[in-house]
Structure 1
Amino acid sequence: MPGIRTRALLALGGIALAAALAVLGHLEVNDDLDPWSLTVSDFAVSDRGGVIDAAMAVLAAATAVLIPVLPRVGAGRPAEVLLAAWTAGLVVAALVPTNEPGAPMDTAAYLHRYASVVAFLALPLAGWLLARHQGRAAPWLRALALTSLAFAAAMVWSAYPGDRVLIGLAERLLILTEVGLLAVVAASCAAVTPVRGA
């Protein structure tokens, strides 16, 4: 099994690649798509199987590489389960498309939505739990976890009573914060000495 540092560095590389792909996915869309009012999923469905779907899959793989490291750095089982839920949510969201913007939601779109909700909530909760085991990174993880939950609340407000006002902006800020949280976890794991017996 690769060492903690190797896995953490692989995860960091995957996170960086996923971020680059997500940016590229926003540059290669038609001009009718507005990043302020449409979600990332709306962009992904316009380019089914394209770079945004690939970015989600790469981010899921980067997290999957990191999960086996957690017990070796002293993290508990709940954090592992939450990171696995984040990973599964990303995989489902990448594989199951949402509906086209403006179209009524079908079963696949609901599955995509709730897989995304699981992912968006699981990662900040995992980050909060992991903060106990990450030394100097703990304040960053707590701040990023709370910020993620605040952006998730903003997105929920926008989706329901807010008539989707700036939902795209809220989601992109949420994603940026969560990717940052995951990068802090990976970087912190790369610098950690393994716990004895793990």
Structure 2
Amino acid sequence: MNLRLLALAGFALAAALVVDGHLDPNGNLNPWSLTVSDFAVSDRGGVVDWAMVVMAAASGALLLALHRTGVRIEAWVAGLFAVWAAGLTVAAIVPTDAPGLALSAAGSVHRYASVAAFVALPVAGWRLAQRVPHGRAVRALAAVSVGCALAMVYSAFPGDRVLIGLAERLLLVAEAGLLVALALPQRYRKYSS
């Protein structure tokens, strides 16, 4: 089984599911001011939740593919991938609160699982960048991810959530791009560093 292609197919399916989840028939949801989780809470158990689970599973397949092709995966990098996948899975299972409501205990679990995932992946990607053929792209996308995450933090707190949805979507595109760059179909060389 070609795990790299399986991972790429999973990333494509997850992206398609997220796009489908944004097709709001009544037009009441604004992607610029609402997060992806805000869209997901309006359709509990819907396509956005499934997209997160698919992305987590595809990320696991990618990590195995990298290992099988000779990329040395340090334990802490594997741990960061586990945080990424677990964070996505928890965020899919534990709902956030509807926009405008106070943050509940479940909403807090959802939020911090998402934050852990968003932080873990670029750090893992940065470390793996020196071991894969498309390392420059991986490193650039990791840096863009950090920038978008900082924009989200600013928007969430002093920025009164202005354009938080845009910042998060740019973050998601950068992190999905990072995963795709890691999975691109080239022969991996064994790296010792």
Normalising by the smaller structure, the TM-score range is over 0.9
Provide the residue aligned with 1:133 in structure 2.
Answer: 131
Cα separation, 2, equivalents of 1:102 and 1:60: 28
Is residue 11–residue 63 contact of structure 1 (8 Å, CA) maintained in 2? yes
Select the residue among 52, 56, 64 that pairs with 1:56: 52
Q: Which runs of 5+ in 2 are unaligned?
A: none
Is 1:160 aligned with 2:130? no
Question: 1:27 aligns to what SS in structure 2?
Answer: coil
Following TM superposition, by how much is the alpha carbon of 1:18 offset from its aligned partner in structure 2, in angstroms? 0.4
Provide the residue aligned with 2:180 in structure 1.
Answer: 183
Query: How large is the Cα RMSD of the aligned pairs?
Result: 1.5
Select the residue among 10, 16, 30 that pairs with 2:12: 16
Deviating beyond 6 angstroms after TM superposition, the runs of 4 or more aligned structure 1 residues are none
User: Aligned AA for 2:163?
Assistant: L
Select the residue among 125, 145, 159 that pairs with 1:148: 145
Cα separation, 1, equivalents of 2:107 and 2:36: 13
Percent pairwise identity? 56
Q: Tell me the matched-pair count.
A: 189
| Counterparts in 2 of 1:138 and 1:164: CA distance versus 1, 3 Å | same
Provide the residue aligned with 1:192 in structure 2.
Answer: 187
Question: 1:12 aligns to what SS in structure 2?
Answer: helix
User: Aligned AA for 2:139?
Assistant: R
Cα separation, 1, equivalents of 2:38 and 2:146: 22
Cα separation, 1, equivalents of 2:152 and 2:158: 10
TM-score normalised per structure 2:
0.93
Cα separation, 1, equivalents of 2:23 and 2:81: 29
Is 1:40 aligned with 2:36? yes
Following TM superposition, by how much is the alpha carbon of 1:194 offset from its aligned partner in structure 2, in angstroms? 6.4
| Counterparts in 2 of 1:7 and 1:180: CA distance versus 1, 3 Å | same
User: Aligned AA for 2:103?
Assistant: M
User: Aligned AA for 2:52?
Assistant: M
Cα separation, 1, equivalents of 2:17 and 2:38: 16
Is residue 67–residue 84 contact of structure 1 (8 Å, CA) maintained in 2? no
Residues 57-95 of structure 1: CA deviation (Å, up to 9, x unaligned): 110110111222343322322221111110000000000
Is residue 131–residue 190 contact of structure 2 (8 Å, CA) maintained in 1? no
Following TM superposition, by how much is the alpha carbon of 1:144 offset from its aligned partner in structure 2, in angstroms? 0.2
User: Aligned AA for 1:168?
Assistant: G
Residues 162-185 of structure 1: CA deviation (Å, up to 9, x unaligned): 010000000000001100101111
Following TM superposition, by how much is the alpha carbon of 1:44 offset from its aligned partner in structure 2, in angstroms? 0.1
Cα separation, 1, equivalents of 2:76 and 2:130: 12
Select the residue among 78, 82, 89 that pairs with 1:80: 78
Cα separation, 2, equivalents of 1:107 and 1:16: 32
| Counterparts in 2 of 1:131 and 1:194: CA distance versus 1, 3 Å | closer
Following TM superposition, by how much is the alpha carbon of 1:132 offset from its aligned partner in structure 2, in angstroms? 1.0
